[in-house]
């Protein structure tokens, strides 16, 4: 066995949905694998619960990327990538769970009893088997964790030795070859054990190629494309492993080792009764202690919902003193060099309420357990470095609201007017905000509505529904403090029936701001990278009316601005009309986490856009990389299927390979295809460089 044989088979790319489908479809087998690999010394009840927990934790949190350079396909690689990934995760966690706990080492999650699932008052265990199953269970108890995993892969998964070594290496086994050697040594001690069935041949098409996009109905837009599969020769059956096996798959698949078909028995009833009494006494003691600790001052006292004070420090004490809060006069901003939050005047009828400001500063520095706190991604939530600037303090709806700015963040504190519960603290990053980005801040959200506090230089506010490009915006009223009337927010809506945006006038034109569930509304732009303008023109409104509902994919992500750009137009086959391709890029305040969407706009002004491709943290369609290439599978009104692709203006040719092979000069391509075809797109730029499709 060479070193190359121990390199894990490339698994990926694997989407979360693909892994979930494999986990749900093969859940009983994954739980059985975990149950067999876990050490029998754990006891059958804990092995059952742990096996279910390991299988349920195998789902990835995000998309699993594939290798940069795909390796040659092997016969053993004909396994669904989603199932291969979750099976590897189950094996990895099961091997960790079998490691002994050490006194000075921090235990890993798999080594601890599972939090979920939990069954109280009952002990669960599989049905009892016969003498053969009992002998096999005793045999497994003599093996190490990697050897048990190798035994299960060979007997239950029907894998050859080469694939067993690769799967064990990917699962983190310290010495896969030693595991096979341990099996061989045990086989010499028990030569009478039955041999297994030979490994099943690799299914043809097990490695499902990704298609360009989901199928769409006649005249409808396509779904998003996935990564294409490289064409290759038919998969050959996997060669049977060398040498006899310890046991057949029939014993491993028996009810003795089925943790999904269980029997239930009660636990220790006398001990449970004693523990119940002890817990009841402890709860009563905690309630009495809590009541005594809360007597000296409850409600909105000196520090309100703030946690206990930390070590005293002169700088920290100055930051918590309401008398030292910075207040900007109303006459400062007209003569200021920049228009940002640093020149906002202190407004609101409660700007002089020292007890309110003291509570807000104390909760900011030390939020207690009852405070509902939130922060946009990438925003630090620590206390202020010094006395912050006061932007607003007043009563809005049924809450007292305080807005601070410390140069890096906007901090919003809110407490109910009536009662002493429900304090909220929100953080939003604002470094570098200037002009339109500092034109409005969300003051309250209630009953599906939102109110804004506008900048002092805003001369007018109105509401524009992005889904109705031909309708003129209607005026949004403001009070003397700069707080707008309530307007329905799309971030709080369950359906995309309308998408209200805030349009502000500042003396130099109209600005369009969209509420994405954060303190600062995102600026909506239109145009190519490097030359965007506010999305208030007719062309921008018509395009945004068909793509606005895709903004739900970036809610709560700390988005600073969203820019949309029509990078290509394409004449559709069979005289179906003329379509457009739009690239939407959402930039964040933290610089990372950028999301890029390529969307296909079929003919017709009212047809919604279809998502053709998406990417996270990709430079495409941005200032660094203004180019983009996307494709989709489209069905013409006449019933024919086509692969459509489009790139930016500097694309010299587009090529498609895989299930469809075609090439077109210029930035667009339309090739005849079969329903469900899958292919890989690439383009050649005018300078000769190759560019892959957005994915």
> Which pLDDT value is given to residue 71?
52
> Which pLDDT value is given to residue 294?
54
Band of the pLDDT at 304, cuts 50, 70, 90? low
Mean pLDDT of 244-248: 44
pLDDT at 92 over 80: yes
pLDDT at 264 over 60: yes
Band of the pLDDT at 208, cuts 50, 70, 90? very low
The rounded mean pLDDT for the chain is: 82
Domain ranges within the chain, ordered by starting residue:
4-202+239-265, 314-433
* Percent of the chain's residues with pLDDT above 90: 46
Give CA–CA dist 584/596, Å, rounded: 6
Between strands 662-665 and 668-673, the pairing is unpaired
Mean pLDDT of 507-527: 93
> Which pLDDT value is given to residue 74?
54
Dihedral (Cα; 35, 36, 38, 43), 10-degree rounding? 70
Band of the pLDDT at 395, cuts 50, 70, 90? very high
Cβ contacts of residue 148 below 8 Å, gap of 6+?
36, 37, 140
> Which pLDDT value is given to residue 108?
81
pLDDT at 636 over 60: yes
> Which pLDDT value is given to residue 606?
81
> Which pLDDT value is given to residue 302?
61
> Which pLDDT value is given to residue 631?
93
Q: Residue 587's closest CA among 596, 577, 578?
A: 596
Query: Taking a C-beta distance cutoff of 8 angstroms, is the pair 328, 385 a contact?
Result: no
> Which pLDDT value is given to residue 306?
63
> Which pLDDT value is given to residue 199?
47
The better pLDDT of the pair 298, 488 is held by: 488
Q: Residue 604's closest CA among 658, 536, 542?
A: 542
Dump pLDDT digits (tens) for 305-355: 665 555 466 777 778 899 999 999 999 999 999 999 999 999 999 999 999
Helix (H) or strand (E) holding 421: none
Give CA–CA dist 678/660, Å, rounded: 7
> Which pLDDT value is given to residue 679?
87
Give CA–CA dist 279/47, Å, rounded: 27
Tokens standing for 632? 């989709």
pTM over 0.95: no
Mean pLDDT of 410-425: 87
The better pLDDT of the pair 464, 82 is held by: 464
Please provide the size of the chain in residues. Answer: 695
Provide DSSP, 118-153.
--SSEEEEEPP--HHHHHHHHHHHTS-HHHHHHHHH
Mean pLDDT of 116-120: 81
Residue whose structure tokens are 């049905």: 127
Give CA–CA dist 594/597, Å, rounded: 10
Query: Taking a C-beta distance cutoff of 8 angstroms, is the pair 230, 67 a contact?
Result: no
Mean pLDDT of 545-567: 93
Q: Residue 370's closest CA among 298, 277, 473, 268?
A: 298
Mean pLDDT of 351-364: 94
> Which pLDDT value is given to residue 341?
96
Query: Taking a C-beta distance cutoff of 8 angstroms, is the pair 408, 380 a contact?
Result: yes
pLDDT at 456 over 90: yes
pLDDT at 233 over 50: no
Dump pLDDT digits (tens) for 48-63: 889 898 989 888 888 8
pLDDT at 498 over 70: yes
Query: Taking a C-beta distance cutoff of 8 angstroms, is the pair 251, 236 a contact?
Result: no
Mean pLDDT of 13-25: 86
Give CA–CA dist 30/34, Å, rounded: 6
* Cα–chain center distance at 299: 38
> Which pLDDT value is given to residue 292?
60
The better pLDDT of the pair 234, 542 is held by: 542
The better pLDDT of the pair 149, 214 is held by: 149
Tokens standing for 321? 């003193």
Question: Which one of 60-74, 230-244, 364-378, 454-468 scores highest in mean pLDDT?
Answer: 454-468
Mean pLDDT of 243-253: 58
- Residue 5 has a CB neighbour count (10 Å cut-off) of 14
pLDDT at 591 over 60: yes
Dump pLDDT digits (tens) for 648-688: 888 999 999 988 999 999 999 999 998 888 889 999 999 99
> Which pLDDT value is given to residue 137?
82
Band of the pLDDT at 261, cuts 50, 70, 90? confident
Q: Residue 92's closest CA among 30, 143, 45, 43?
A: 30
Give CA–CA dist 45/66, Å, rounded: 37
Comparing 99-108, 158-167, 244-253, 397-406, which segment has the lowest mean pLDDT? 244-253
Provide DSSP, 169-216.
HHTT-S-HHHHHHHHHHHHHH-TTSPPPPPPPPPPTT-SPPPPSS---
């Amino acid at each position: 066995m060479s070193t190359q044989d121990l390199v894990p088979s490339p698994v990926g790319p694997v989407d979360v949905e693909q892994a979930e489908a494999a986990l749900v479809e093969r859940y009983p087998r994954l739980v059985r694998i975990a149950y067999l690999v876990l050490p029998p010394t754990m006891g059958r009840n804990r092995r059952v619960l742990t096996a279910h927990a390991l299988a349920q934790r195998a789902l990835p949190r995000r998309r699993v990327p594939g290798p940069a350079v795909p390796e040659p396909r092997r016969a053993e690689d004909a396994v669904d990538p989603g199932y291969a990934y979750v099976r590897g995760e189950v094996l990895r966690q099961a091997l960790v769970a079998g490691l002994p706990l050490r006194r000075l080492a921090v235990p890993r999650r798999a080594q601890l009893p599972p939090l979920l699932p939990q069954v109280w008052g009952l002990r669960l265990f599989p049905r009892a088997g016969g003498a053969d199953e009992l002998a096999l269970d005793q045999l497994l108890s003599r093996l190490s964790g990697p050897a048990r995993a190798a035994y299960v892969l060979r007997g239950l998964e029907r894998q050859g030795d080469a694939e067993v070594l690769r799967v064990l290496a990917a699962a983190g086994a310290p010495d896969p070859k030693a595991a096979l050697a341990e099996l061989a040594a045990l086989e010499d001690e028990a030569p009478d054990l039955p041999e297994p069935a030979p490994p099943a041949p690799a299914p043809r098409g097990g490695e499902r190629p990704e298609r360009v996009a989901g199928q769409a109905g006649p005249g409808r837009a396509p779904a998003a494309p996935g990564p294409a599969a490289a064409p290759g020769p038919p998969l050959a059956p996997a060669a049977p492993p060398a040498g006899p096996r310890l046991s057949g798959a029939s014993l491993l698949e028996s009810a003795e080792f089925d943790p999904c078909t269980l029997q239930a028995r009660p636990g220790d009833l006398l001990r449970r009764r004693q523990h119940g009494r002890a817990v009841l006494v402890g709860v009563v003691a905690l309630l009495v202690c809590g009541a005594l600790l809360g007597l000296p001052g409850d409600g909105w006292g000196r520090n309100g919902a703030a946690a206990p004070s930390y070590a005293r420090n002169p700088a920290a004490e100055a930051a918590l003193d309401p008398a030292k809060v910075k207040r900007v006069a109303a006459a400062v901003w007209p003569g200021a060099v920049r228009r940002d939050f640093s020149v906002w005047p202190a407004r609101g009828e409660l700007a002089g309420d020292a007890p309110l400001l003291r509570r807000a500063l104390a909760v900011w520095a030390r939020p207690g357990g009852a405070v509902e706190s939130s922060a946009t991604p990438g925003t630090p939530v620590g206390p202020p470095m010094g006395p912050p600037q006061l932007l607003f303090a007043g009563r809005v709806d049924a809450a007292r609201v305080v807005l601070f700015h410390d140069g890096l963040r906007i901090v919003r504190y809110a407490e109910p007017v009536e009662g002493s519960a429900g304090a909220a603290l929100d953080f939003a990053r604002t470094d570098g905000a200037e002009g339109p980005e500092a034109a409005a801040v969300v003051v309250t959200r209630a009953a599906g509505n939102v109110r804004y506090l506008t900048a002092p230089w805003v001369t007018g506010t109105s509401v524009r529904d992005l889904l109705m490009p031909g309708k003129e915006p209607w005026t949004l009223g403001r009070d003397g403090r700069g707080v707008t009337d309530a307007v329905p927010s799309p971030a709080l809506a369950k359906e995309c029936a309308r998408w209200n945006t805030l349009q502000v006038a500042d003396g130099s034109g109209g600005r369009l701001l969209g509420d994405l569930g954060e303190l600062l509304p995102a600026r909506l732009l239109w145009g190519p990278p490097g030359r965007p303008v506010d999305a208030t023109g007719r062309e921008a409104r018509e395009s945004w009316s068909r793509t606005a509902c895709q903004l739900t994919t970036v809610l709560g992500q700390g988005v600073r601005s969203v820019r949309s750009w029509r990078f290509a137009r394409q004449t559709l086959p069979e005289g179906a009309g003329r379509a457009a391709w739009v690239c939407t890029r959402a930039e964040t305040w933290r610089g990372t986490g950028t999301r890029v969407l390529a969307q296909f706009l079929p003919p017709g002004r009212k047809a919604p856009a279809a998502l053709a491709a998406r990417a996270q943290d990709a430079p495409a369609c941005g200032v660094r990389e203004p180019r983009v290439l996307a494709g989709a599978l489209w069905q013409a009104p006449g019933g024919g299927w086509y692969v459509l692709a489009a790139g930016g203006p500097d694309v010299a040719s587009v090529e498609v390979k895989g299930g469809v092979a075609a090439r077109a000069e210029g930035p667009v391509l339309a090739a005849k295809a079969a329903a469900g075809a899958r292919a890989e797109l690439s383009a050649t730029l005018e300078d000769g460089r190759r560019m892959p499709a957005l994915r």
